[in-house]
Amino acid sequence: MGPRHRGDDVKSVGRAMANNNDLAVLEGALLAEIGGAGDLRALEDVRIAALGKKGRVSELMAKLGSLPADQRKAFGQSVNGLKQRVSDALESRKAELERQALSSRLATERADVTLPVRLGPLQDGRVHPVSQVWDEVAEIFGDMGFAVAEGPDIETDDLNFTKLNIPPEHPARQDHDTFYFHPKADGTRMLLRTHTSPVQIRTMMSQKPPIRIIAPGRVYRLDSDATHTPMFHQIEALVIDEETHLGHLKWCIEEFCKAFFEVDEVRMRFRASHFPFTEPSMEVDIDAAAIGKPGQWLEILGSGMVHPNVIRNCGLDPDKYQGFAFGMGLDRITMLKYGIPDLRDMFAADLRWLKHFGFLPLDVPTLAGGLSP
């Protein structure tokens, strides 16, 4: 309030001496302001403007001394009465606003004790469908007597290609859209493995037959669209001994498919194909009836009898040893089994997606307990 207005008040004080109506008007105005204060802060501003040192009520009191003696008592009593009622109104409005603030806070910070108990991170976490399928496949082949082998993601050109009977300049190299590292001083180049087949080589070079391994892992190809991602997963299988033949390969794949898709029968089609590291080579399709969509063939893997050159390249005698190998796309069979439409979603790290498609960490797949929950 400016000095000019304060001067006006002084004049009105004079009138108040004669007319208690002015006090009643001021009281009405103050009580209205108090009632209209929307929160504790606004109410405090009203209090200061009324009862503060320079507030409108305090200034009335200050004028008391300048009144004729016979009027002081009555005026003082009136102002005191006003002051008391304003204070009371402030008090009760304050209590009311505090009650409101508390109940709105209680409403927003409400805990619903009827909600189920949250068991913490273990309950919240989900296993990615590819990890789930990785475990399911390992469980199935483990039951058939396969061990799990591993190799590095960063491979030599020799193990990824050359020893697999894909010499330099072989056209098959172009098919793989390889990520290469810069050449080393000796001219050799490291690369991101384009398939899990180099684990066949590593295993044959380090173990004596009989060999029976699977090798799940990440593989990389320079390719990206709705059905290809630059990184994806394969699972390799390799059996080497003195008598394993094509019949074993077919049986093994068929048993795997029945166990994996959790059905009694799977119709399969073995199509002649070509891989430099197998002879003969076959691609395997399954009848999509296995996933409830009859009438369609779905390719799930490449396979064949290990090429004698590959066996020789690993220091084994191809006249003594033989066997089969296959490589299967893990992401692909995951999508088929669990009805996941877009490959790219698998790598989007979207927690809502994971909550929907993911698996509880304690639902470990076992053949006895059931592969999928």
The residue assigned the tokens 């927690």 is: 351
Q: Which one, 151 or 327, has the nearer CB to ligand PHE?
A: 327
Closest residue by Cα to residue 151 from 188, 204, 212? 204
Answer for which of 192, 305, 316, 325 binds ligand PHE (CB under 6 A) is: 325
Span from 35-43, 78-86, 309-317, 322-330 in contact with ligand PHE (CB under 6 A): 322-330
Rounded to the nearest whole angstrom, what is the least distance from the CB of residue 363 to ligand PHE in the complex?
A: 30
Candidates 299, 324, 354; CA nearest to 132 is 354
Answer yes or no whether residue 151 interacts with ligand PHE by CB under 6 A: no
Residue 148 token pair: 């799990």
Q: How many residues bind ligand PHE (CB under 6 A)?
A: 11
Using rule CB under 6 A, residue 327 touches ligand PHE? yes
| Shortest distance (Å) from residue 326 CB to ligand PHE | 5
Structural tokens at position 4: 């000019």
**Residue 278 in contact with ligand PHE, rule: CB under 6 A:** yes
- Least separation in angstroms between residue 320's CB and ligand PHE is 21
By the rule CB under 6 A, 203 interacts with ligand PHE? no
Q: Choose the stretch contacting ligand PHE; rule: CB under 6 A; options: 59-67, 107-115, 201-209, 296-304.
A: 296-304
Pick from 56, 93, 195, 332: which binds ligand PHE (CB under 6 A)?
195
Q: Does 178 bind ligand PHE (CB under 6 A)?
A: no
What is the pairing mode between strands 231-241 and 268-275? unpaired
In whole angstroms, the minimum distance from the beta carbon of 197 to ligand PHE comes to 4
* Cβ 150 to ligand PHE shortest distance, Å: 16
**φ and ψ of 243, to 5 deg:** -140, 5
Q: What are phi and psi of 286, to 5 degrees?
A: -115, 150
Residue choice 132, 197, 244, 313 for contact with ligand PHE (CB under 6 A): 197
CB closer to ligand PHE, 78 vs 313: 313
Peptide bond into 68 cis (omega under 30): no
Q: Name the one range near ligand PHE by CB under 6 A: 10-18, 113-121, 135-143, 325-333.
A: 325-333
323 interacts with ligand PHE by CB under 6 A: no
Phi, psi of 83, rounded to the nearest 5 degrees? -60, -40
- Of the candidates 249, 236, 160, 240, the one whose C-alpha atom is nearest the C-alpha of residue 208 is 240
Q: Which CB sits closer to ligand PHE, 30 or 316?
A: 316
Could you tell me which stretch among 45-53, 84-92, 298-306, 335-343 binds ligand PHE (CB under 6 A)?
298-306
132 sits near ligand PHE (criterion: CB under 6 A): no
Among 256, 326, 357, 359, binds ligand PHE (CB under 6 A): 326
Nearest residue to ligand PHE on Cβ basis:
327
Provide the residue count of the chain: 373
Q: Which is nearer to ligand PHE, 209 or 217 (CB)?
A: 217
Of the two residues 232 and 359, which places its CB atom closer to ligand PHE in the complex? 232
Whether the link from the prior residue into 209 is cis, omega within 30° of 0, is: no
Yes or no: say if 160 and 198 are a contact pair by the CB < 8 Å rule: yes
Q: Does 302 bind ligand PHE (CB under 6 A)?
A: yes
Which positions touch ligand PHE (CB under 6 A)?
A: 195, 197, 236, 275, 278, 302-304, 325-327
